[in-house]
Amino acid sequence: MTETRFADAQWFTEVATECGSAFSLEIRAKVHEQQTPFQKIEVWETKRWGYLMVIDGFVMLSSRDNFLYHEMMAHVPLFTHLDPRHVLIIGGGDCGTLREVLRHPQVETAWQVDIDEGVTRASEKFFPELCESNNDPRARLHFEDGIKWVKEGEAESVDVIIVDSTDPIGPAEGLFTEAFYRDCLKMLRPGGLLVQQSESPLLHMQILKEMHHAMRGAGYADVRTYQFPQPVYPSGWWSATMARKGRAIDSFREAEALAAPEKFGTKYYTADIHRAAFAMPAFFRREIG
C-alpha cells in the first residue's frame, strides 16, 4: 500500500510501502486543496517539476513529465486502430489524454466520462495546457460514473475505449473487473480497441496478471501490454494494456505514426517507440504467458 509522508516542509514524498521505496519532489507551497464527494484533490507548486496534482495522497501528474503518459495512452491505440472515429475516455479528468486524442483529425467524437468534476476544474486552473482542447466541438465532457456509463452504453457505438483511471482502489476499483471489460466489449465496434493503464510491471505483476485474465475472460481476441517511463509513479516504469475485439493486434498505421512528432508535436511518441513499447522483458513473458 502506498502512503504519503512529508520528510520536511520542503519536500512532498509518496512512500510505496509494498516495495520499500519512495519518490520525492521539492516543493514551494500547496496551492489547492479540495475534498470532493469522491476524493481529496491537492495541487502543489514544485521547484523544478511545475505543478503536482495529488489525489488521496497518490501522485497523479506533474507539469514536467505528464506528456509521457498522455501520449502513450492516446497515440498507441489510435495509431493501432485502422479508423478511429469515435473514442470514449473513462476517467482522464485532467484532460491530457483528451487533448492527445483530438490531435487525430479522423476522430469525430471524443467522450470523456469522469466521476469527479473537481479534477477537471483543478486542471483547468493549474494545467491549462492539458485543457486546450476542452472546447473542441468534437469533445463531450461528462461528469458521471464511468462504470454505469459503459453498462448502459449503446452496443457497437465506439471504436476505441481508453480507461485513464487511478489505481484499482476506491472509485476506480470497479474499472479493473471482467464485468466492466465485458460491458466495454459490448460498446466496441468490430476491431475496436480497449486500453487501460496497468500499473508498474516491476511492482504490480499481480494486477497485470489479473487484468490479462479478466480481459480474456470477457471475450477479447488479443491482449497485450506495452511499457513507457513515468518518473513520478512508483518505480518510474509504467504500462498500459490493450485488447482488441474480434481479431489479433497485428499492425499499426506506421506511415502516419512516422509523421506524429512533426504533425502533432509529440515529445515522446514516435513510430519506433510504438514498436519498441510492446517488447516486454523475459520475466513478464514468463508471468503473463
In terms of domains, do 77 and 146 share one? yes
- Catalytic residue set: 164
In Å, what is the CA distance from 209 to each residue of 64, 236, 238? 31, 20, 15
* In contact, 41 and 32? CB cutoff 8 Å: yes
The enclosing domain of 185 has a CATH number of 3.40.50.150
In terms of domains, do 36 and 121 share one? no
* In contact, 243 and 193? CB cutoff 8 Å: yes
Q: What is the per-residue pLDDT across 106-125, written as a single tens digit (0 to 9) for each?
A: 999 999 999 999 999 999 99
pLDDT at 24: 95
In terms of domains, do 15 and 70 share one? no
* pTM for this entry: 0.94
Whole-angstrom Cα distance, residue 31 to residue 234? 24
Q: What is the mean pLDDT of residues 133-158?
A: 97
Where does the pLDDT of residue 7 fall: very low under 50, low under 70, confident under 90, or very high at 90 and above?
Answer: very low
In terms of domains, do 164 and 197 share one? yes
Residues linked to residue 33 through DSSP beta bridges, in sequence order: 42
CA dihedral 161, 163, 164, 166 (to 10 degrees): 170
Whole-angstrom Cα distance, residue 263 to residue 241? 26
Last-in-domain residue among 62, 79, 94: 62
Q: What is the per-residue pLDDT across 148-207, written as a single tens digit (0 to 9) for each?
A: 999 999 999 999 999 998 665 555 567 779 999 999 999 999 999 999 999 999 999 999
Q: What is the mean pLDDT of residues 125-143?
A: 98
In terms of domains, do 58 and 76 share one? no
In terms of domains, do 110 and 200 share one? yes
pLDDT at 173: 66
Residue found under cell 516543493: 27
* In contact, 195 and 162? CB cutoff 8 Å: yes
Q: What is the per-residue pLDDT across 230-260, written as a single tens digit (0 to 9) for each?
A: 999 999 999 999 999 998 898 999 999 999 9
Whole-angstrom Cα distance, residue 243 to residue 104? 20
Query: C-alpha grid cell for residue 281?
Result: 522483458
Query: C-alpha grid cell for residue 100?
Result: 492527445
In terms of domains, do 31 and 164 share one? no
Query: C-alpha grid cell for residue 22?
Result: 519512495
Q: Of all residues in the chain, what percent carry a pLDDT higher than 90?
A: 88
Domain range for 40: 2-62
In terms of domains, do 148 and 185 share one? yes
In terms of domains, do 45 and 105 share one? no
Q: Report the length, in residues, of the chain.
A: 289
In terms of domains, do 70 and 58 share one? no
In terms of domains, do 56 and 110 share one? no
In terms of domains, do 164 and 47 share one? no
Tell me what the pLDDT averaged over the chain comes to. Answer: 93
Q: What is the mean pLDDT of residues 62-88?
A: 98
**For the chain, how many structural domains are there in total?**
2
3-state secondary structure the chain: CEEEECCCCCEEEEEECCCCEEEEEEEEEEEEEEECCCCEEEEEEECCCCEEEEECCEEEEECCCHHHHHHHHHHHHHHHCCCCCEEEEEECCCCHHHHHHCCCCCCCEEEEECCCHHHHHHHHHHCHHHHCCCCCCCEEEECCCHHHHHHCCCCCCEEEEEEECCCCCHHHHHHHCHHHHHHHHHHEEEEEEEEEECCCCCCCHHHHHHHHHHHHHHCCCEEEEEEEECCCCHHHEEEEEEEECCCCCCCCCHHHHHCHHHHHCCCCCCHHHHHHHCCCCHHHHHHHC
Q: Residue 73: what are its φ and ψ, rounded to 5°?
A: -70, -30
Last-in-domain residue among 33, 62, 91: 62
CA angle at 36 for the pair 31 and 38, rounded to the nearest 5° = 130
Last-in-domain residue among 62, 86, 102: 62
